[in-house]
Structure 1
């Protein structure tokens, strides 16, 4: 069995490849989507639906959307302890690992984890660190649209087509263009925006609702409930042309009629940001929109009517959804895990991927009689098929110069300082007062994201090498070891308690949102749950949980009609 993980901004999933096909694994609540939220509940940490419910009633006790902080030093405080994004992501991964082990009955170690195509090296290494902290061996990272393409490619392995994968998730937007032919899945180009996703559309709508209702959209006490209301409205407008919002937040009544057209106006600036990655991916692939045979939508945010309409207009065809857009990335990650392990069921499948960013070094350019440093010289262009190896020749600036120093960068800016610094290497050259010394710089980049830099002095053959494995800001071995110890010392609720914790926190959140006359009714739900837990009758408890969830569904539906 081979395992793949979609570590998402909003939700995460894990899938297993067995019996020749990828299959999703349910969590303790029987759901395949696990919210990427961590919260503190009665002194213990919880992950998933229960944590998301806590984030609504006690926002200070919960952390979410931390995928967007990967590769940064941002800290999230839960109780008296600070956690960084890799540590919180590790808790989500650990929960998925436990779900997979319970479902499959085998230990889970080796996994493939998906990442946004436009994650830089620092962000990718943060994901690898999260895997290690969770007790996982991350055998490969796969770009999310590539994973989706792989799931579709397996589903249609005999097809010959040019496919564009349009992946708008909770926090990121990615585009990949690929060629399918004779069992080969060739990624031609990838592009994206690491800070554009469905959560941004929800936030825009929440701010509109707040403005129309005289509320402060940044009020930390109101924001979680406001975001939930906006999310419900966004989902409602995906299927209905108009909805009616009725709620009470912070003692302020909300009564709004919202049309799909108004929602489109509110989110128009976000829709325009979809254009640049689409144009770049098509340009780099060498295909035009007319040459694309199929547009595949991936990510829950593509359920928005405005997004689907935009994709259709921009690409001049109706997009297709053959597989669930929330699930396809996890399925593809499991297929990649099987490919890495050389599963016999995939002997006839070949996949190639590309580098999402340009890799190069800084150099000096002559301006008049002087040289100005700090310019970026690409060596491996973005969307080069990997693994790949490329070289460029560089010379000393001054006669008699004894050292050549190269700083390595990743990015698309012509100025080195605006790109991501990866490392530095230098090599000594003979002191030559007659001619400029030259050196050949070779970059070798593999599918696992490892970059090796070799510098060879032409006159002497002297060589220096650098393997980019540690970046400034990356978690060090000491950091990861400390995080492992922190994880081991954490008090986490047992997996078997997840259903009760989820229901309890959902009831508590409903109580916080209820009007005065409904609070007694909500409080009684909690009394019923506690009585059933104390009675320790599993069958009665299961039936009660089902009834209480149904009652809460009806209660919450009142907010959006």
Structure 2
């Protein structure tokens, strides 16, 4: 079975193609979104999704979120959060989320998925894309295709009526990344004209800005500073998320942190939130300008501005978009669901489903591809380590381009080319993909040239051909996403390590969620109410220990009813 997965920074979702349409698959809690969170206790017991997120405030040292931002980054090849006393790579944690999503599909259909289309930010580089593929492998999924998130969203939006559409812009602001793509639809072709983005800008950053603004107001005596940093940040993050969501429907909201027997609170207005986020709002402009410039389209020529990603629900974001484009955006697609639905549509296209027989997708190369060169500096010396583009960013793929380079030294015997991806003038600011060398006949400088051809396709395969015209010598290098996958032995060892994480039979997702809800309720109250909640938690925990279904069901019903009563008695 081939499925479509939106592997998000904050939340993930999975969809399947069923009866001619894309359908989202609920998790064990009946929710269509699964938090991208993993928590591991010292003994190896693991929680994934909502249950892991609910452990964050109480067990921040054992819980990881937003690890998508660490995918493929050299500085954090291993997570330093010491989850359960052991380090985990970002792709290991992502694999656990992917595995949970696959299990949800199996629970619904009775069939275990074996293949997947996984979405990635359009601005993910080669290392980040390879890390995503590795995560899929570790989860037991053959990754048939990585599809850019705004492309997937455009597919879901564009196929609502399957009609031709003038160029429109997909504005995708998720929990941790920001992408824009300019897309056009005609004659059944979904054509991506240009993409740009910022992999360090998302809803998480707005939460951090809100927390930084609110902390001095709710905690003038800096009592939170006495807490361990991870505990303090977890409390502030949860409060910021709650406050931000409330501000989507109200002009002001409470920012509250429970500290022992006391609640530290303050009121934040929408105007104050917007002011605190002003530096982030300014960063939304540059990727939009770059994408429009690259495809030579003026903003006035866009037919729609389509909103995707949960962070676009924020009124401050929608106002910023309206100011930027001089018009209101289109919010007709579900911001949290569109990407997963588009991934399922891409899966159906790969499976040649008859319902999509006339649909084709074309995408672009998100980063410039080129070689390392040296140039004469005009003063008798050489400036080395420069980047020479061969395929410019936002070139439609598949594509093949050739550049010619010459020797710089007398009697030079070899021409060497480092292969890079990026936009920086110097290669040290770009990502190295590989290296190719070719012998050349010794001649005076500049008399021997090499034709360097790059060919790149939508699956991420890059082929480099180097040809020396004077003697016909040729060399070839193929760089593909699968190239630096771990060896089979390493892959098996890592999959086995993940499989050893213990999932106790009583850790049913519904029970874990109820217990987390009860513990959260306990933290939010003081005095007699807190004591009563603690007693109910103890009774439910005891019932779980009996492993008797009837006792557990009775205790679950009692605890849920008591929590409903407590949560229903709000002072507001």
TM over 0.5: yes
Secondary structure of residue in 2 paired with 1:140: strand
Q: 1:417 aligns with which of 425, 428, 439?
A: 428
Whether 1:452 and 2:457 are equivalent positions in the alignment is no
Distance 1:553 1:363, change over 3 A: farther
Report the Cα offset of residue 278 of structure 1.
Answer: 0.8
Whether 1:6 and 2:19 are equivalent positions in the alignment is no
Whether 1:536 and 2:542 are equivalent positions in the alignment is no
Task: Check whether the contact 1:162–1:179 (CA below 8 A) recurs between aligned residues.
Answer: yes
Secondary structure of residue in 1 paired with 2:15: strand
Number of the residue aligned with 1:318: 328
Task: Check whether the contact 1:202–1:234 (CA below 8 A) recurs between aligned residues.
Answer: yes
Question: What is the alpha-carbon distance in structure 2 between the residues aligned to residue 459 and residue 553 of structure 1?
Answer: 81
Distance 1:372 1:448, change over 3 A: same
**1:102-128 superposed Cα distances (whole Å, 9 cap, x missing partner):** 111112011100001111000000000
Number of the residue aligned with 2:36: 36
Task: Check whether the contact 1:57–1:509 (CA below 8 A) recurs between aligned residues.
Answer: no
Secondary structure of residue in 2 paired with 1:432: coil
Number of the residue aligned with 1:405: 416
Which one has more relative contact order, counting CA pairs under 8 Å at least 6 apart?
Answer: 1
Number of the residue aligned with 2:354: 344
Number of the residue aligned with 2:83: 78
Q: What does 1:41-80 correspond to in 2, within 5 Å?
A: 41=41, 43-72=44-73, 73-75=77-79, 76-80=81-85
Whether 1:115 and 2:120 are equivalent positions in the alignment is yes
Distance 1:518 1:397, change over 3 A: same
Whether 1:157 and 2:162 are equivalent positions in the alignment is yes
Task: Check whether the contact 1:397–1:436 (CA below 8 A) recurs between aligned residues.
Answer: no
Distance 1:395 1:408, change over 3 A: same
Q: What does 1:352-391 correspond to in 2, within 5 Å?
A: 352-368=362-378, 369-391=380-402
User: How many pairs are equivalent?
Assistant: 558
Number of the residue aligned with 1:234: 244
Distance 1:547 1:165, change over 3 A: farther
Task: Check whether the contact 1:226–1:249 (CA below 8 A) recurs between aligned residues.
Answer: no
Report the Cα offset of residue 526 of structure 1.
Answer: 1.2
Distance 1:159 1:379, change over 3 A: same
Report the Cα offset of residue 144 of structure 1.
Answer: 0.5
Whether 1:437 and 2:437 are equivalent positions in the alignment is no
Task: Check whether the contact 1:379–1:392 (CA below 8 A) recurs between aligned residues.
Answer: yes
Secondary structure of residue in 1 paired with 2:389: strand
- With normalisation by structure 1, the TM-score equals 0.94
Task: Check whether the contact 1:71–1:474 (CA below 8 A) recurs between aligned residues.
Answer: no
Number of the residue aligned with 2:196: 191
Report the Cα offset of residue 476 of structure 1.
Answer: 5.4
Whether 1:19 and 2:9 are equivalent positions in the alignment is no
Whether 1:464 and 2:475 are equivalent positions in the alignment is yes
Structure 2: stretches of 5+ with no match in the other structure: none
Report the Cα offset of residue 496 of structure 1.
Answer: 7.2
Distance 1:195 1:471, change over 3 A: farther
Distance 1:362 1:246, change over 3 A: closer
Report the Cα offset of residue 292 of structure 1.
Answer: 0.7
Report the Cα offset of residue 540 of structure 1.
Answer: 4.6
Distance 1:456 1:323, change over 3 A: same
CA RMSD of superposed structures (Å):
2.3
Report the Cα offset of residue 470 of structure 1.
Answer: 7.4
Q: What does 1:268-283 correspond to in 2, within 5 Å?
A: 268-283=278-293
Report the Cα offset of residue 524 of structure 1.
Answer: 3.1
Number of the residue aligned with 2:94: 89
